[in-house]
């Protein structure tokens, strides 16, 4: 390389070094005030450690109110030291002065003057009067903040009522109904959400300022306040920078997420209108509107995740792909029964074998349906016991729904009694029908009817059938029906031959309760008659 070229390179490098700013140092502080910067180490002690030790000595002197004279003492030709009285505070070397581009005596004198001024100011901050004033200022500041919170709460309540009244007047004036009413309700909630977000941001900003101000009032926490501020600024700055770096790829994900979010919201409004009956859709009933919405939402979210997966942060890394494969294997191994229950839940949803509140029987379980989910169905029995039945078990079992036809046609409750051949069947029919009509919950129309189901050896089996709309009160209605049957037969003087009685009645007391027997009733005795006499 020619000498001229080498010379030009050296001159350019020298000019660049001369024009470059001095390296940033580590600040030495007393409270929130920055005194000077430490830019060079002292032997094995780093610049950070030097600044930390000097700051600690200054805080100790300020807390003790140490106001001795500050002077500079030289040690040799290349080192000066700053003393507060007889307490060593810091050293100034030629390297420190060279980093600042000044002479060592000048830098030492300047730092000594700065220290003396800071100690005089800092000593005043550690007095009891300053401490009490700081407490008073802190309490006053927090009281003002509490007042602001109260005013904002009152103002927010007033604004909410005012906006709600305006929306109500507008919807009534324009006679908005159906799906349009749902859209207006969502607009009202969106406006309230914007107000809440703006209020929350304002309060968060005020709270952060108040915390910083409170910490800054006390010398012991002034450094904490400043470091917390710097920490949050650095943290959120790093997050913001990462977001900016991700924007080229994240823009697609953001747009996709926004479209998906509002698409699902609109879909929810549509299915909610079907559930309310505002929209009549032939293929989707009000009962299946919510399950259909939930299934479509899951499918849409899964599809969007598949599409957005390559654009996610780290989506193309081997670690991310390995984790996704591991999660997929775990789900495939552990979700066999769960997927079976989910599939059964979907089938049950669209089969509609029962509704919420229906009285059903599945296997040995009889009760009212309280919840229907994709995995399980919860049933509350007549003994107030909640039973959780997996949907796969329901689909593989016989489902008896007592409430399905009871709402319109009525559920037939039936019970059987046995009466002797000596009682006319027409009288038995009439007694049983009257007992049914006297039972709360039994319908008069359709009328109760009686079937003679068997002609036994010593009695006839009569089956009473009565209609009711109250399928969920089956046990109570049955109990009342049995009570009235007993009362009606006893009042008519007819014995219920259950479980069974022999036809030879001489010597046997009637089964009718004693208070309902005739006044002249006597237990019959055995008689033997001679037909020839």
Residue 458 phi/psi, 5-degree rounding, is -120, 0
Q: Residue 407 has what pLDDT?
A: 80
Specify whether the CB–CB gap between 27 and 34 falls below 8 A.
yes
HEC assignment per residue over 469-488:
CCHHHHHHHHHHHHHHHHHH
- Please give the Cα distance from 507 to 521 (Å, whole number): 13
Q: Which tokens go with 73?
A: 């003492």
Determine the 3-state secondary structure of 35 from DSSP.
strand
- Please give the Cα distance from 118 to 411 (Å, whole number): 93
Q: Which tokens go with 387?
A: 């039973």
Q: What is the pTM of this model?
A: 0.44
Q: Residue 134 has what pLDDT?
A: 73
For the chain, how many residues are written?
A: 533
Q: Is 455 exposed, middle or buried (0-12, 13-18, 19+ CB in 10 A)?
A: exposed
Cα–Cα distances in Å, from 324 out to 26, 188, 270, 311, 337? 45, 41, 34, 15, 22
Q: Residue 268 has what pLDDT?
A: 86
- Please give the Cα distance from 219 to 32 (Å, whole number): 8
Helices (H), 335-416: 336-351, 391-395
pLDDT tens readout for residues 420-459: 888 889 999 999 999 999 999 999 989 999 999 999 888 8
* Structural domains of the chain, with CATH: 22-126 (no CATH), 353-401 (2.30.30.60), 411-516 (3.30.70.100)
Cα–Cα distances in Å, from 417 out to 249, 404, 481? 80, 28, 12
Helices (H), 32-177: 47-63, 94-100, 104-125, 128-174
Confidence of residue 139 (pLDDT cuts 50, 70, 90): confident
**Is it the case that residue 256 has pLDDT exceeding 80?**
yes
Listed residue (120, 95, 116, 118) closest to 107, CA to CA? 95
- Please give the Cα distance from 305 to 299 (Å, whole number): 10
pLDDT tens readout for residues 330-355: 666 555 677 777 777 778 777 778 88
- Please give the Cα distance from 105 to 256 (Å, whole number): 66
Rg of the chain in Å (alpha carbons): 46
pLDDT tens readout for residues 178-225: 666 666 677 777 888 888 888 887 887 777 777 777 776 665 565 555
Residue 39 phi/psi, 5-degree rounding, is -115, -15
Cα–Cα distances in Å, from 489 out to 410, 417, 482, 495, 516? 26, 11, 11, 7, 10
Specify whether the CB–CB gap between 41 and 15 falls below 8 A.
no
**Is it the case that residue 236 has pLDDT exceeding 70?**
no
Q: Would you list the DSSP string of 339-351? A: HHHHHHHHHHHHH
**Is it the case that residue 405 has pLDDT exceeding 60?**
yes
In angstroms, how far is CA 500 from the centroid of its own chain? 62
Specify whether the CB–CB gap between 76 and 70 falls below 8 A.
no
- Please give the Cα distance from 372 to 394 (Å, whole number): 11
Specify whether the CB–CB gap between 27 and 52 falls below 8 A.
no
Listed residue (413, 443, 419, 417) closest to 493, CA to CA? 419
């Amino acid at each position: 390389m020619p000498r001229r070229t080498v010379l030009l390179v050296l001159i350019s490098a020298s000019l660049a070094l001369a024009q470059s700013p001095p390296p940033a140092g580590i600040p030495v502080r007393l409270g929130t005030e920055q005194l000077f910067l430490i830019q060079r180490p002292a032997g094995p002690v780093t610049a950070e450690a030097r600044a930390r030790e000097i700051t600690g000595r200054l805080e100790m002197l300020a807390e003790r109110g140490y106001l001795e004279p500050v002077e500079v003492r030289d040690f040799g030709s290349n080192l000066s030291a700053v003393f507060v009285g007889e307490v060593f505070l810091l050293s100034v070397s030629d390297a420190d002065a060279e980093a600042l581009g000044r002479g060592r005596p000048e830098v030492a004198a300047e730092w000594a003057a700065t220290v003396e001024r800071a100690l005089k100011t800092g000593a005043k901050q550690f007095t009891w009067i300053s401490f009490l004033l700081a407490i008073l200022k802190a309490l006053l500041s927090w009281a003002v903040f509490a007042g602001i919170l109260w005013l904002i709460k009152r103002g927010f309540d007033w604004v909410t009522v005012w906006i709600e009244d305006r929306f109500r007047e507008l919807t009534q004036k324009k006679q908005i109904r159906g799906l349009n009413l749902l859209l207006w309700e969502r607009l009202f909630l969106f406006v309230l959400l914007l107000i809440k977000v703006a209020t929350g941001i304002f309060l968060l900003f005020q709270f952060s300022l108040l915390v910083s101000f409170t910490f800054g009032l006390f010398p012991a926490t002034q450094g904490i306040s400043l470091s917390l501020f710097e920490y949050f600024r650095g943290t959120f700055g790093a997050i913001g920078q990462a977001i900016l770096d991700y924007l080229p790829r994240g823009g697609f994900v953001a747009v996709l997420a926004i479209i998906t979010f509002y698409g699902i919201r609109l879909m929810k409004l549509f299915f909610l209108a079907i559930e309310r009956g505002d929209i009549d859709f032939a293929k989707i009933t009000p009962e299946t509107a919510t399950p259909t919405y939930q299934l479509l939402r899951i499918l849409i979210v899964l599809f969007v995740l598949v599409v957005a997966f390559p654009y996610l942060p780290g989506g193309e890394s081997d670690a991310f792909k390995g984790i996704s494969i591991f999660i997929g294997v775990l789900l495939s191994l552990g979700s066999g029964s769960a997927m079976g229950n989910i599939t059964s839940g979907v089938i049950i949803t669209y089969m509609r074998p029962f509704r919420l509140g229906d009285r059903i029987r599945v296997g040995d379980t009889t009760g009212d349906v309280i919840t229907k989910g994709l995995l399980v169905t919860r049933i509350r029995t007549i003994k107030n016991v909640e039973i959780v039945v997996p949907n796969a078990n329901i689909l593989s079992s016989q489902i008896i729904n007592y409430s399905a036809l009871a709402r319109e046609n009525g559920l037939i409750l039936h019970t059987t009694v046995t009466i002797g051949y000596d009682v006319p069947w027409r009288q038995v029919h009439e007694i049983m029908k009257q007992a049914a009509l006297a039972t709360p919950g039994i319908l008069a129309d359709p009328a109760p009817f009686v079937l003679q189901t068997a002609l036994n050896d010593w009695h006839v089996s009569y089956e009473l059938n009565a209609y009711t709309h109250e399928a969920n009160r089956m046990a109570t209605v049955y109990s009342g029906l049995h009570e009235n049957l007993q009362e009606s037969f006893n009042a008519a003087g007819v014995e219920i031959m259950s479980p069974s009685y022999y036809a030879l009645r001489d010597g046997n007391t009637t089964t009718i309760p004693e208070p309902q027997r005739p006044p002249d009733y006597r237990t019959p005795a055995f008689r033997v008659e001679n037909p020839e006499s």
